[in-house]
A and B are shown apart, each in its own frame.
Chain A
Amino acid sequence: MNGISSGQHEDSTRGQIRDEALEWFARAQMGPLAPDAERQFEVWLAQSYSHCAAYWRLEGAWEEAERLVALRPAKRGIRPTVHLIASSSTKIVAAAVVLVLVAVAFQFQLVSPDTKAYATGVGGRKILSLADGSKIELNTSTSIRVSANGASRTVWLDKGEAYFQIVHNAVHPFVVIAGNRRIIDLGTKFVAHQTSGKLEVSLIEGRARVEITDNPAVQSANLVPGDVAVASVSAISVARKSTDTMNSQLSWRRGVLVFKGATLADATAEMNRYNTEKLVVRDPVLARQTIDGTFPIHAVGQFTEMAQAVFGLRAEKRGTDTVMTR
């Protein structure tokens, strides 16, 4: 292991880089790296794309090896793929801008007389049509307040997730506020989702800007379709998502959930958002199994049955919980 150093390896041959990658990978097997070594590793990795490629390739194989769990002799149903109903490709209506906002609970009261509150419970869905032709579709467990008078169009996303289809009006921009973050529509369809302190904005069409209102000059992001902005209370990061992923993310509008390579942990968490009957997976190995498939939002029973068949797991009812174990 002493072949590893943080020095510049400008002229490392690719073979050497692969050997070093293997050494670092072996070191990571011994437990978390000490802060010093961690820094060394980051320096090493950042040296070139060749370093990244060599190391990530090992990590890819490592992740792939997780699937070996499926080969455990005691298990039935090796292929972790679930298909309940054929997933039809969602067509995104070409129109305004769709924003998905995920809001985390926050307390802001800027209530004016013409502000109206709307909410959905667990598993609920609601479509609001505004006078200007804009539409807001609330997903499960969502609370919003809407203030749309002649002068301004403002929505507070207090909790949950909503799909916005906004008719653009340059004079009266449409603003969505979630805590200290603000989304300004520049002619847009988007989804906003607020959870655990984070606001997630997925831009489907048009343009929109996300700002942290404390300091919009420093913290703002202009989004183009395919962008997903994640805004904490102090920072915004933007990633890209494929159209497919975006469509899957909006499948709740069709009353289904689409999973592609989702872990059982994530898939059950997503099912639980819509149902009072909760699925519980505590086993870490089970939680890491992956699922592909399309499920009606409320089909907890079907989901459980398929998981039983595919992963060979046991499901036990305890009150309103269904606990999955190996």
Chain B
Amino acid sequence: MAEKPIDSNHEGPVRHCPEKAVTKTDLRSWFIREVLPLEPLLMHFLQKNWRNRSDLEDFRQEVYENVLEAAEVARPEHVKPFLFVTARNLLINRLQRESIVSINVVADLDALGVAVDEPGPERGALARDSLRHLQAALESLPPRSREALVLKRVEGLSTREIAARMGISEQSVANHIARAVRALAERGEPLSSRSEL
């Protein structure tokens, strides 16, 4: 299933997200639960194999598009290999288009150990790390964003209450929180700067 031709046209038409997927929360929760936790690994893989840092986010998004499209039809039994095969296919496709030859891509897949799926320990390790990373990400947020997020998510205040407490508009609170959440979502990315890797 992962071997189907993948259109990696970077600016190309994006595929329709079926109504079904939107109303049915199934695909969404699968994506959040099974795919997103693998993002740090995915970004690590993409960074190693794609020199153009400026479009890594687009690349990642394209991988997710392909994964979601395939998963809507049938959920892969082993998510990790499926994710990386999808990423590899896109990468190969792109490298071919740009006439860059790279054998490393394939070799790297093996190096990552994604051929064998061991969800138990792997996920356990990710879970253990994630709280620590989450905390680190929280600490690196701009103070106002951090304050808004903590008041909302940890203290459970409403946006209105936070606005009153921080002395800013509700819109500003919402923007602070959204930016904070985006920053948390990105926490898997600066792998190159992480000492433990």
Contact = CB atoms under 8 A, between A and B. Distances in A.
A49 B65 CA distance: 5
Contact of B65 (A22, A50, A64, A66): A50
A65 B153 contact: yes
Contacts of B43: none
A56 B15 contact: no
A65 B181 contact: yes
Interface string A10-23: 11111101100011
B64 interface: yes
A306 interface: no
Interface in B70-129: 72, 75, 127-128
Contact of A285 (B58, B156, B184): B156
Contact of A29 (B36, B159, B182): B159
Interface residues of B, number: 56
A57 B38 CA distance: 12
A29 B174 contact: yes
B131 A53 contact: no
B16 A47 contact: yes
Nearest to A51: B17
A314 interface: no
Contacts of B138: 68, 71
A50 B61 CA distance: 7
A56 B32 contact: yes
B155 to A, nearest CB: 9
A14 B152 CA distance: 29
Interface residues of A, number: 54
B175 A49 contact: no
A15 B58 CA distance: 7
Given A48-B65, A65-B149, A284-B156, A79 B131 contact: yes
B177 interface: yes
B28 interface: yes
21 contacts: A13-B11, A14-B58, A14-B62, A17-B14, A26-B177, A29-B152, A30-B159, A46-B19, A47-B16, A52-B17, A63-B32, A64-B134, A65-B184, A67-B130, A67-B134, A68-B134, A68-B135, A72-B154, A237-B24, A240-B75, A285-B156
Interface of B: 11, 13-19, 21-22, 24, 26-28, 31-33, 36, 57-58, 61-62, 64-66, 68-69, 72, 75, 127-128, 130-131, 134-135, 138, 149-150, 152-154, 156, 158-159, 170-171, 173-175, 177-179, 181-182, 184-185
Interface of A: 1, 10-15, 17-18, 22-23, 25-27, 29-31, 42, 45-54, 56-72, 78-79, 81, 237, 239-240, 261, 284-285
